[in-house]
Structure 1
């Protein structure tokens, strides 16, 4: 466990839920805007239901689950990228969201320009970004591509740049959503070493399908299944239960279907 873990709660979610509005016909969206006060023209697709968690300062939490279970949506809500449909959320501290930042890069602008924008989005002043730019560029290790449009970058290069920006914003909370899975081995090692150092003072929310990384980096694991917390606790115990479920429980495609078990917010 991180040496800086304290009783201070930096992320608190109470009965958090998130539903997307799915429309059967293109003009149903306009009907919803005009006549939504009278009836609904969409089918709600619940990706998160009744999520309640507390994350204390200094904790490193791994989030597990099958594809489509709601892991990434939970992190997007915590990062403020999307609003919850119901429930309460409180976040205390600057967040650095690695994959979320990379997905918002302007493809027409250069890496250099995206560093300036990304730094500003994460709360840095322009002068601070300029002062740290050489260090960001060195960490990213993309060479002359820094002055090329990001649309020419591979996914791995965009991840390198996003992680490098997040590593320099002096955030209290680091959110890593499968970012390390698209980088090469050398960069993964650099990132893992940096995360190890960050954990001494910061809070980590880490999504990965690599159980070895979760065991190494996290002191608590949360397993999400069909938008709900199925189990949480010691990483070894949660991973053991998760692996057992993968072996004996059928991978149900219905979890991707609106109107299935997620059709309502409560049962």
Structure 2
């Protein structure tokens, strides 16, 4: 059974959250004119989240599960603050580090060294804190020889190593992970998972989105299954994975 935290103030709270995106059906002025002349719709609405509510307590490890288009990544972006709900509310308590897009927040014309300081500042670390952890960040990333190279020359795997290393060396309360572990070689993936488990053991709150169902059922105690922008199941992660596979 998943851990229960009913007596604690939630770290994360979503209440009746709704988010709708407009989907364009034309890609050029010519297509738009032709579609309008034929009275075809130029856009349609996609309800990414349709009344989603859940809370996550301090120290929980939660997997957001669902097929493509179910709303899991949108939920994660709501928690991170990248997106805002159309209606409803999203509340978080504490410092958040989000590994949502590889290399997001990196400036391509700056070196790896400069981007460490930039990303650490975005995550709320002072220059002194970053200086104290700089050596550990670089060592974990395993890209010491490229640290003074402009990151526009980095591979996606190098982006991953540096972005992950900065995030997990920040003093965070909530760590958000979206498919980030699907990039990079297996030894580094295992190293990342080991570090994530360490952070969870220290009481950090984890919210994970991944298509690797075996990994999330092992890493997370709780699973929230989303279907068509709604919560279809909220409970033990292994039960949630079983429903995904049914």
Q: Same fold (TM over 0.5)?
A: yes
TM-score of the aligned structures, taking structure 2 as reference length: 0.87
Residue equivalent to 1:241 = 243
- Structure 2: 5+ residue runs without aligned partners? 30-41
Q: 2: CA distance between counterparts of 1:231 and 1:52?
A: 11
Alpha-carbon distance, 1:227 to partner: 1.5
Q: Following the alignment from structure 2 to structure 1, what is the Cα–Cα distance between the partners of residues 6 and 102? A: 26
Equivalences, count: 232
Gaps of 5+ in 1: 29-40, 245-267
- Once residues 147 and 62 of structure 2 are traced to their aligned partners in structure 1, the CA distance between those partners, rounded to angstroms, is 32
TM-score normalised by length of structure 1: 0.80
- Over 3 Å counting, the alpha-carbon distance change for 1:135 and 1:116 in structure 2 is same
> Counterparts of 1:99 and 1:56 in 2: how far apart (Å)?
21
1:5–1:212 CA distance, 2 compared to 1 (3 A): farther
Give the SS at the match of 2:46: strand
Structure 2: distance between partners of 1:47 and 1:3: 28
| Change over 3 Å in CA distance of 1:226–1:14 after alignment to 2 | same
* Conserved? CA contact 1:175–1:205, under 8 Å: yes
In structure 2, the CA distance between the partners of 1:48 and 1:214, relative to structure 1 (3 Å rule), is same
In structure 2, how many angstroms separate the alpha carbons of the residues matched to 1:83 and 1:141?
A: 35
Mean CA deviation greater in 85-94 or 42-51: 42-51
Take 1:203 and 1:142, find their aligned partners in 2: how far apart are those partners? 28
Choose from 230, 239, 243 the match for 1:228.
230
What is the RMSD computed on CA atoms of the aligned residues? 2.2
Per-residue CA deviations over 1:50-86 (Å, capped at 9, x if unaligned) read 1100101110001111122221111111000111111
Match of residue 156 from structure 2:
155
Q: Secondary structure of 1:190's partner? A: helix
Which residue does the alignment assign to 1:131?
Answer: 132
Offset at 1:207?
A: 0.8
